[in-house]
Structure 1
Amino acid sequence: MEPWQLSAAEAAGRIKAGTLTAEALTRSCLERIAEREPVVKAFTYLDPLLALNSARRVDKGYEPGILHGLPFAVKDMIDTADMPTSHNSPLYEGLRQGRDAACVGVARAEGAVIIGKTDTVEFAAAGRRALTRNPHDPTRTPGGSSSGSAAAVADGMVPLAFGTQTGGSTIRPASFCGVHGMKPTHGVVNTEGAKRYSHTLDTIGWYGRTPADLRLVAQAFRFYGIDNPRALTPTGLRIALCPGPNWALAAPEAREALATAGKRLEAAGAIVEDFTLPPPFGEVTEAQLAVLYGEGRGAFLAEALTDPGRLHDDFHDRVNNFQGVSPQRMLWAYDLAAECRKLFDGFFPRFDAVLTPAAAGEAPVGRQDTGNPVFNSMWTLLHVPCIGIPCIKGPNGMPVGVQIVGPRFGDAELLDVAEAVSPVIMG
């Protein structure tokens, strides 16, 4: 097995044991990138010499961190001190902020090797699409907006990568690319240094190949309870099978994935209960859109005023309130979100996790359609942690995943459940 084929947890174990170095792992990942990047186009910036020098510095470190020696890719709307942050926008091409975003600073401090910047939908919001292709089928999207991050992990270019989620930008690409992804509880990871779209919704997330990989990053961010893992098995876990209020938009393969995941868990001894969310949740998707567009007006106002000619029409539409979001609509959305957050938290500890679709179906053909976020946006507004898990292959041989969801600040417990159920769900 080549080093690039190792999961983050496996590589961390070998580095700790002294049988693998950060430089050797980084070099192997760079070789994989050189082989596959012409097809996948995951990166907007890559400096192999910079990456190798960073790995050598890590190898010389005296106090190994939690992410010691692990190559980590960064979505190109998150600042990095030694690399440009373009936001996939002509306004910021080549921009160097000269400092790390908070999440990158934590990763570096814990020994990660920041290997490069991954392509994204413009400002992680709208406008220009990433050039990235789905590694399973280059004619299809990897999803958005964390396009390059999901594809890079799925194709073995890096073991870990940062994404973000404002609607469905972390979990949906995880489903399309067939990798694990985590959107933690809103606010537990500092978003400073990442382009703001919606302060109510923006969440830093990440990709890995296993739940153990996701846990490493959660440990680096000192999640509540993360140092007291529970060794769970599927037997006796109480899982709520929840199609959700947007079930009518699920393609047959998304329906099959949810049903298959539920059956596999039942066969492994879990208690799977059909679960319907109460009526107030039926409007949460619309509330998320109101918040998204309402807060998005201010997020792009500076760009619209200072360089209107080079700003995509999508952002002018947001600044000009093309959705007609009123103050009354915003207040309604905020109030409904607060009500439903409390209601959802109340379903625990009756359940250990809620099992629900991760995407509407397989990855669409082309780059423009990055997929419908409707099965993610509700959970983003509710601020709850979500973990995407690969499940089946769709009619075109593309990955289709599911996600498990927990209560706010139940991230550590959800990771425990993920480690128990992921091998079963994957089949």
Structure 2
Amino acid sequence: MLSLIELRTRIEAGRLTPRQAVAEAQAAIAERDPGLGAIVCSDPDPVVPGEGPLAGIAVGIKDIIDTAHLPTQMGSSIYAGWRPRADAAIVSRLKALGAVPLAKTATTAFAGLDPARTVNPHDPAHTPGGSSSGTAAAVAAGMLPLALGTQTGGSVIRPAAFCGVAAIKPSFRLLPMVGVKTFSWALDTLGLFGASIPDIARALALIADRPEIDASGEGSRSPRIGLCLQGFAGEADADAAEALSRAARAAEAAGAVVTDLTLPEPFARAWEVHPLIQDFEARQALAWEYATHRDTLPPVLGAQLDRAQALTAAQYDDARRSAHRARRQLKDVFSEFDAILTYSTTGRAPRGLGSTGDPRFNRLWTLMGVPCVNLPVPGDGLPLGVQVIARFGGDGQALAVAGLIATALARS
């Protein structure tokens, strides 16, 4: 994989120019993407700034995020060839830092559950996950050092785990959603994918203009970690359970205090109502597409919106109250723990391209709005990851704990 930090180190030392760094990404795309389908389109002659803290960093932009210089097609024929007049706020921020929004990465249609054309870089017979399918695959295949995704249920953490890359779904609204196609305005969150925890920490600190996020060495060296199995969400498979156990042992070896954590009933109820909140809002966010192009929508999304027509405002309001109760109680949980360690996925990437996998271990945390980090767990076979979660606004803490465990895993 291409490391953002390594590229920037070479550039700052004068061993690589920003233009050469972007050319490396272009060459990797040309060589590797034909077999992966991760890239929808790319800029053949990009403007490459010579200065800036992200100069020379080619970025993949999930294809529901507006770019003025490249089409934004939402993974749907409805928007084939569509060119926004302006960049999304996040794209403008990347450009201001010197980064190059080089390519649009494949997304499932409107960031829903119908699979995109992308395959898993580790085995093309397996899904890369979704909805940020192309984003995760492009980073895993070494085509891009940084890429943007979004998460409404599990669309950052799950594909990152399936493809074996580091990723963060930051605290809700830490990054601006202006110019990003909405599915659920109470849930949609921009996320970052990179080669390692330090890479995404550096990128998030710069993009959010919060240097403290990258102060990974300044956190507690004995964090209190709650090991949470999320029993209300069902069971993970044996491989995922072993990866979580390995991560917990590594955390303890690094000095962390790991304690079993069972979440009380309000969290089970919040987990239950996540789909209702999501679908009630999706019905409105995609009202034009549903009213004018219902027959063009892919099967899973079309059926999902069909069912959503029957949802009532009273059901939605009750679900929101349940979510609010759980968020209040989560503050008490984080008075006892610095981070939560849990599953990223139910297991390795499923075989076949008919599904993007199950987001059951992600959706509660998206609803809670808290920062979530996928930490790859080294091993044989298809990748596995675990999820590190911190309190709302504790993005630096989540990354610091994930970095601590990553270092311990590398030593074990």
TM-score range, shorter chain: over 0.9
Question: Following TM superposition, by how much is the alpha carbon of 1:393 offset from its aligned partner in structure 2, in angstroms?
Answer: 3.9
Map of 1:412 onto structure 2: 396
Structure 1: stretches of 5+ with no match in the other structure = none
Which amino acid counterpart does residue 73 of structure 1 have in structure 2? G
Question: Following TM superposition, by how much is the alpha carbon of 1:296 offset from its aligned partner in structure 2, in angstroms?
Answer: 1.0
Matches within 5 A, 1:17-416: 17-47=13-43, 49-51=44-46, 54-55=47-48, 58-59=49-50, 64-127=51-114, 129-222=115-208, 226=212, 229=215, 231-232=217-218, 235-246=221-232, 248-322=234-308, 324-393=310-379, 397-416=381-400
Tell me, yes or no, if the aligned pair for 1:234 and 1:421 is still in contact at 8 Å.
Answer: no
Question: Following TM superposition, by how much is the alpha carbon of 1:224 offset from its aligned partner in structure 2, in angstroms?
Answer: 5.0
The DSSP-based 3-state class of the residue aligned with 1:262 is helix
Displacement over 4 Å in runs of 4+: 232-235
Distance 2:279 2:260 in 1: 33
The DSSP-based 3-state class of the residue aligned with 1:263 is helix
Question: Following TM superposition, by how much is the alpha carbon of 1:25 offset from its aligned partner in structure 2, in angstroms?
Answer: 1.1
Question: Following TM superposition, by how much is the alpha carbon of 1:217 offset from its aligned partner in structure 2, in angstroms?
Answer: 2.2
Deviation readout 1:105-150 (Å, 9 max, x if unpaired):
11111111111011111010134x2111101101101000000000
Tell me, yes or no, if the aligned pair for 2:202 and 2:214 is still in contact at 8 Å.
Answer: no
Match for residue 4 of structure 2 among 5, 8, 16 = 8
Distance 1:228 1:159 in 2: 17
Which moves more between the two structures, 348-357 or 106-115? 348-357
Distance 1:279 1:309 in 2: 40
The DSSP-based 3-state class of the residue aligned with 2:173 is coil
Tell me, yes or no, if the aligned pair for 1:385 and 1:405 is still in contact at 8 Å.
Answer: yes
Deviation readout 1:22-73 (Å, 9 max, x if unpaired):
11111111221222112111101123x323xx22xx12xxxx3232220100
Indicate how the Cα distance of structure 1 residues 223 and 329 shifts in structure 2: closer, same or farther if over 3 A, else same: farther
Distance 1:22 1:65 in 2: 10
Distance 2:208 2:4 in 1: 18
Question: Following TM superposition, by how much is the alpha carbon of 1:412 offset from its aligned partner in structure 2, in angstroms?
Answer: 2.0
Give the root-mean-square deviation of aligned CA atoms.
1.9
Distance 2:214 2:150 in 1: 26
TM-score (norm 1): 0.91
Distance 1:228 1:212 in 2: 8
What percent of counterpart residues are identical? 39
Which amino acid counterpart does residue 116 of structure 1 have in structure 2? A
Distance 1:245 1:262 in 2: 17
Indicate how the Cα distance of structure 1 residues 272 and 131 shifts in structure 2: closer, same or farther if over 3 A, else same: same
Distance 2:4 2:170 in 1: 18
Distance 2:172 2:132 in 1: 17
The DSSP-based 3-state class of the residue aligned with 1:226 is helix
